[in-house]
Each structure stands twice: as C-alpha cells, then as structure tokens.
Structure 1
Amino acid sequence: MIYTLTLNPAIDHIILTDKKMELGVTNYYQDEYQVIGGKGINAGIILKNLEADVIATGILGDQNKDLFMNKFQEINLNNHFFLNHGTTRTNYKIKNLSSHQETELNGLGFETQIEVLNQLMLFLESNLKKDDIVLLTGSVARGIEKDIYQRMAKLINQKQAILICDASDELLLNVLKEKPFLIKPNLEEICSTLNLEFDSNFKLDQIKKMISQLQNLGAQNVLLSMGAKGSLYFDNQQNIYQVGIAKGKLINSVGAGDSMLAGFIYGLYKKLSIEKTLQYAAACGGATTFTEWLAPKESIELLVEEIKIKKI
C-alpha cells in the first residue's frame, strides 16, 4: 500500500484576467474556478490514475471539507482524512492571461488540534506494514511542530516501510536524521535548507557537492528537479542519472513536481528498473503540465518512452 500524507492542504481559487491588477482600485476579471490542492493529495491522485493501491490521508478543516470529499468521491480516490475544527486554507492565484504572470495570496487556515494529529499518528501506527511506501510532503499547518516528519519517519522505519519525503528547510533537516529512502528537492530548496546562496547557473560539480551534503546528513537517494532542464537522480551508490523531459504545450505547472514524485513512487511500487522508474517520473510531471489539472493515465503512458535517461 502507498500512503500520501498532506498536513497543510489547500483550496486553490484561480482567478483569470487579461488586465494588470492595480492596488487601491476596483479590478475586474473574466473567469474563476477552484481546485483542491496539497502536495500529498496531488501525488495520491496521480497514483490513483495509474491504478496503484494508494490511500491519501492527512488533516482537513471541518468547515469546508465538502469540496475535498466530493472530489475524492467523484474521482474514486481512497482516502482517510482527519477533521480539525476550522477551515482548510484558501490560496488565491491571480493569473494574467496577457502577460503570463501569476500573483498568489496564500491563506493560513486552521490551527491544528493536538488530538487530531494524535489520531493521524495512531492511524499510521495501526495500519503501516513492511514495505508499504509512505510519502511525507509539503508544508505543515499552524500548530504542528517542525519535527513532525521526523516523528512520523521514526514510526515508518519501525514498521519497516519505505520513507519518501518532499520538504525543505527545518522539516527536511529533521527528517534526514531518519535516513529517508528518497527526497525530491529543487536547487532553491537545497540552498535554503543548507543555508547556501542560490545560483541559477550552478555547474554539475557544485550540484554534486550539495547532493553529497544531503546524503551525508541522511538522504539515501536524491531526485533533483530542475524544471525545464529535466532532473538528475543521485543514488546511494554514487551513480548519477540525467533525466530528460517530455515535449508538449505548457498549460499548467501546478502539481507537476508532485506528479513527478508520484511517477517515481509508481515505479518503486511496481518494482520497475531505475531507468523505467525515472521515465515514469518525468512522464507524470510532463503530462500534468500539458493538462488543465492532474494527468490521466493515458496521457502519462503516451510520454513514458519519449523520456531519455542517461547515466553520467
């Protein structure tokens, strides 16, 4: 079984306009829509689309849970969320269609109740089995301490399950102490976590040194996401794989990184070769960018063989 955890889900309220937004005056827009969000939820949906055995879990606000629950039911996503008093946060994303710029206003949402978090921990303790895959991903809601992923990781390791984490800064530094099987940062997140100055033109030797730091801190394998430049995979045997990208028209970048991670987890779940696993990772990420929301299986499968993998 695969478990994807989301401790800070969101409702993304998308506003579409072709005019520049001005502060202090009334602005008008053409269209709007809402989608459920959260890195673990996104990954869970991709895994469900790929027909893997997955349960999406985490914490939701009880006052606006219906948007999530209705969508889970509509797409038949197996889920087990725990309800916290208050509202799940809403993030407003204002997309300017003419300038292709996006402005975000991100909400804070509920203050987490300790008893709800304890219920989630008990659920994991009662259900995790050896060789299950657990994804800990994203930020955490208010009231949750920054060692939460480390605490969950201890439990996951005790159960002999496979720990995968996509986080940054203190959350990542703490969980590295438990030696996660895989982490999936980008260069900015690595620099932020290691307190380094970011440079968009890092050379491979510089990147290798940063990855080595992460592995010395506890990461076993690292999948480095580099957007349009593809990705690099560093395993625990000092091998490096260069992963290409799929070709297509960019429609939506939201959830692409989560989809990529889901593709890797799918390959791990199906016990595919590392090359095929990395192809699925890139195909899932690419397919999501070419669709309005999260990629269906058919779109993903069309791209898998297109992805070039090179050992360097």
Structure 2
Amino acid sequence: MIYTVTFNPALDYIVRVRQLNIGEINRAEYGEIMAGGKGVNVSLVLNNLGHESTALGFAAGFTGEKLIEDLKKKGCQCDFILLNQGMTRINVKIKGQEETEINGEGPEITPTALRSLMMRLEHLKEGDILVLSGSIPGTLPEDMYERVILRQQGKKVKIVVDATKNLLKDTLKYHPFLVKPNHHELGELFGVEISNREEAIFYAEKLQQMGAENVLVSMAGEGAVLLDVCGERHMSPAPTGQPVNSVGAGDSMVAGFLAGYMETGDYEQAFRMGVAAGSASAFSEYLATREEILEVLSRTFK
C-alpha cells in the first residue's frame, strides 16, 4: 500500500481571469474548488492511474469536511486526523496571463493530533511506500520528517520525500528510496543555478552521495533526469504540449514514477511514466487522467 502524508493540506480555489488588474474589481471566467496539497495530489493521480493509496494528514472545520468529501467523491481513500480548532486552509490559484497564488495558513496541530498520526503510521509494513510531501506548518517541529522516518526504520518501508531545503537535506542520511526536487530546489541546496540536464545530473549525484537511493529532478521546459540506485542515468526532454497549469505537475511526476515502478519494477519505465504524468498535468486544467498520461507517454517514448 502507498501512504501519502500532507501535513498542511488545502482546498484549492482555482479561478481564471482574462487579465488580473491589481486594485480593481476582476471578473472570473471560471472557478472551481477542489482538494489540494502535495501528498493529496500524489494520491489523486495514483488513483487516476488505478493504484490504491491512503491519504493521511490533518483536517479541520468546514473546509476540512469539504476536503475529505472531495477526495471520497474522486474514489480516493483517506484517513485524516480531525482537529477540533481552526480550519483547513484555502489556497487561491489565480490563472490569468500569468499564474498567481495566495496560500492560506493552516490550523494548529496539537501534540495529541500528532500522536494520532504517528499511531496510524505504526501499521506500515515491509513493502509499503510512504510519501512525505510539502511544507511543515509552523506549529510542528522542523525535524518532523526525520521523526516520521525514524519510526519506520527497520521495517523496510520505502520512503519518498518531495520537500525543499533542510526538510529534504536532513532526510538523506536515512537513505530514502526516492527524492524529487525540481532544478530550482536542487540548485538552492548547493547555492548554484542549474540550467541544463547535465548540471542537474552532477548535483543529483551529490544527493546520492549524501544517501538518497533514487534522485528524480523535474526541470519544467528542460525535461527531467533520474539517477537510479543501480547507477544508471536517465534523461528526457520535455514532452511537447501547451502548459496551462503548474499546480500538481511535480506531484504527478512522483505518482507516475511510483505507478510505473510498481507495475514494472524497472526504473527506466518508472521514469518515463513520471515524465508523462508530470507533463500531462501541466497540459491539463487539473490533475491528469490516466488517458491523458498514457497519451503523452505513447507519443513521447516511442
């Protein structure tokens, strides 16, 4: 079973305007509210690809109820800890000539609620996959990911980390199965700018030397690279298509990689499915369907 953890999930309010004029009244051409958050997105795309997962995290208030309702309507399993105070945050995604985001602040996570999550994670066993994605709310310790991973040591659970800065760096000593920075995040770790796939390979090797088994780097229009645990390098240009949405593309890549790996056990095939899933979501108004992902896969990797 795959489990995803989103410490600060959200309802994403996606609104499209012809042009965003600051300081003026703007009329929306389109609007929709849906479940969001990095781990939540991974679970949703896995579900689209026909793979079961359980989304874990925290939910509060009427927005938390809506989050859970939306996931269940989409056929996604979830087991959120319900908080008594506050409300699940709302993130506003404004799509005009450019994309603008306003991310809300999540509820306070109490020690009791955190213990409840840890107890749920005690049931993970050999062969399970645990995906840790996104930021940590300010009410939680900065080493939260490390604490979760330490509780899984010795159980042969595969750990996937999609995070930034020290939140990612500090997990490397535990040898996560997969880490997935984008090229900006990878460069930030080493104080450099990464502009091509060869540079991404060079710094991805450093992450492997620091402990990561597989390093998958998304590079938007430059494509993607993968360094696998067998020492092989995989590179791909970006699939052709018109990007209309950046929300969830990286999460879709993680989901596609895991789906491809579970289906074939082959890192090249997992990489291709990851690239296709990430690009298909970028070409879609929302997270890509299985049909959209397979279409990108078939025309990109012939």
Could you say whether these structures have the same fold, taking a TM-score greater than 0.5 normalized by the shorter chain as the test?
Answer: yes
Q: Distance in 1 between matches of 2:223 and 2:197?
A: 15
Distance 1:187 1:256 in 2: 14
Q: Shift of the alpha carbon at 1:236? A: 2.9
Query: Where do 1:178-197 residues align within 5 Å?
Result: 178-194=174-190, 196-197=191-192
Q: Which stretches in structure 2 are left out of the alignment for 5+ residues?
A: none
Q: Distance in 1 between matches of 2:298 and 2:22?
A: 46
Q: Which runs of 5+ in 1 are unaligned?
A: none
- Label 1:288 to 1:123 Cα distance change in 2 as closer, same or farther (>3 A): same
CA contact (8 A) 2:3 2:129 kept: yes
Cα displacement (A) at 1:295:
1.3
Note if 1:275 corresponds to 2:275: no
* Contact residue 279 and residue 305 of structure 1 kept, 8 A: no
**Identity rate, percent:** 33
Q: Which range moves more in the overlay, 110-119 or 281-290?
A: 281-290
Cα distance, 1:171 vs structure 2: 0.8
Shift of 1:202: 4.8
SS state at 1:131 partner: coil
> Aligned partners of 2:225, 2:153: CA distance in 1, in Å?
26
Does structure 2 retain, via aligned residues, the 8 Å contact 1:2–1:55?
yes
Determine the structure 2 residue equivalent to 1:80. Answer: 79
Q: Distance in 2 between matches of 1:19 and 1:298?
A: 31
Residue number among 209, 220, 233 corresponding to 2:202 in the alignment: 209
Residues 129-171 of structure 1: per-residue CA shift (max 9 Å, x gap): 1011111111112311121111111223332111111011121
Shift of 1:66: 2.0
Q: Residue 13 of structure 1 contacts residue 91 of structure 1 at CA under 8 Å; is this kept in 2?
A: yes
Query: Could you tell me which residue of structure 2 aligns to residue 233 of structure 1?
Result: 226
Matches within 5 A, 1:9-158: 9-23=9-23, 26-31=24-29, 32-84=31-83, 85-96=85-96, 100-125=97-122, 127-158=123-154
Amino acid at match of 1:190: L
Shift of 1:297: 1.4
Q: Please state if 1:198 is matched with 2:197.
A: no
Aligned to 1:246: 239
For the pair 1:296 / 2:264, whether they are aligned, the reply is: no
Q: Is the 8 A contact 2:250 2:278 kept in 1?
A: yes
1-structure distance, mates of 2:40, 2:9: 8
C-alpha distance in 2, partners of 1:303/1:136?
27
Do the aligned residues in 2 keep the contact of 1:253 with 1:289 (CA within 8 Å)? yes
Distance 1:157 1:219 in 2: 15
Q: Structure 2 length normalisation: TM-score?
A: 0.92
CA distance in 1, matches of 2:283, 2:144: 34
4+ residue runs over 3 A deviation: 206-209
Aligned residues: 300
Amino acid paired to 1:10: A
Contact 2:63–2:89 (CA under 8 A) maintained in structure 1: no
Deviations for 1:87-108, whole angstroms, at most 9, x for unmatched residues? 1111222222xxx212222211
Q: CA deviation at 1:221?
A: 1.3
Q: Which residue of 1 aligns with 2:167?
A: 171
Kept in 2, the 8 Å contact 1:39–1:137? The answer is yes
- Structure 1 residue identity aligned to 2:145: Y
Structure 2 equivalent of residue 162 of structure 1:
158
CA contact (8 A) 1:172 1:193 kept: no
TM-score normalised by L of structure 1: 0.90
Q: Secondary structure at the match of 2:151?
A: helix
Q: Secondary structure at the match of 2:161?
A: strand
Query: How many Å apart are 1:251 and its aligned residue?
Result: 2.7
